[in-house]
Structure 1
């Protein structure tokens, strides 16, 4: 039995992603078979294919960000593939600037940090994930940022009085999971850059 609400949330995230990835993969396989047989083509099929690809990328990303994490390693190729597919045809981009495999628990924190940065970059921009020795640095740059100071303050304070919207759940999870791992989240912002470190 999990010991905390956070562990329950992790298991729920893993279960949902696990159960959704199979039917989405089956739809994608069906589209490939239709394409090879020549029985279906056109903008409608392209739209379905793009949508299935987007859903698959999001589930792969969410599986790490919101699912149960262990100490198994995740290769840079897999992470870069997830990020490439996630931001395909988007105004934003993300670069995984780390060549060595990383612990899944660390990648999870980096993905949650990336989601926080996305919130401050609604018009697009670029995100770079790096390591500086033992320290992780997730940096977002954009021409225009929108920073809600109350939400961003959660990364340092974990203020339980602030009611989060579903779109901001990462601001509650990131500091809670970091704290469980003995880490402290720090963030800073300028007019064109946001940096999250842990």
Structure 2
């Protein structure tokens, strides 16, 4: 494995691509529904309005999640409320394929720890590509969190190369838009002074993040 070399502008571009990818689908659905309304077909009006409402909620949830997971979320050294993060995560991740149980006290944590938790939740969804149940547990001691996320579902797996990418390595030393998520997660973990580990047992993948030794 080779250490990944990535210019700051390239990292920013890949993260922007990642966020846009999440938002394009619901925004595109809104555009399609508006076109249906323009046809002035009464039989399709309720369908189109329902699609607009669902897609607008989805786009809003995805943007709110991205703001915390990838955005600045305040000035340097800012603290983020875990309760707010839980509300955002539930809005983004609970759908027809996935369910999320968020188990965390209402507490303020340094922003990089909260950003790490949200990014780990995204990696957990990759562990159950056919959908399933996510459980996110957080324990807090002072201003230090410990996170354990489990992803349970059919054909659960530890995503390919995820541990190498988190460590900042790839086979070629380069990455594409699909690999930026675990790479960024590893960068946030190091900034937060935390270490990440993966385990799998049956149809359950566990991801643990705790203070690095």
Following superposition, the deviation at residue 103 of structure 1 comes to 3.0
Structure 1 counterpart of 2:89, from 83, 88, 92: 83
1:159 aligns with 2:169: yes
* Cα RMSD (Å): 3.2
CA–CA separation in structure 2 for the residues paired with 1:120 and 1:165: 19
Q: The residue matched to 2:95 in structure 1 has which SS? A: coil
- Check 1:84–1:135 CA distance in 2 against 1; reply closer, same or farther (3 A cut): closer
Name the structure where strand makes up a greater proportion of residues: 2
Comparing 43-52 and 182-191, the one that deviates more = 182-191
Q: Does 1:49 find its partner at 2:58?
A: no
Question: Who is 2:132 aligned against?
Answer: 125
From the superposition, tell whether residues 83 and 135 of structure 1 become closer, same or farther in structure 2 (CA, over 3 Å): closer
Segments of 5+ residues of structure 1 without an aligned counterpart are 32-39
Matches of 1:83 and 1:181 in 2, distance apart? 20
Q: What are the Cα deviations for residues 48-83 of structure 1, in whole angstroms up to 9, with x where unaligned?
A: 111111011011111111112543333344223222
Q: Does 2:14 match 1:5?
A: no
TM-score (norm. length: structure 1): 0.72
| Deviating 4+ runs (over 4 angstroms) | none
Higher relative contact order (CA 8 A, sep 6+): 2
Deviations 1:132-177 (A, max 9, x none): 454222222223213344234333x321435444233221111122
Structure 2, unaligned stretches of length 5 or more?
1-6, 35-43
Tell me the equivalent position of 1:169: 180
Q: Distance in 1 between matches of 2:56 and 2:94?
A: 12
Q: Give the Cα–Cα distance (whole angstroms) in 2 for the partners of residues 77 and 174 of structure 1.
A: 21
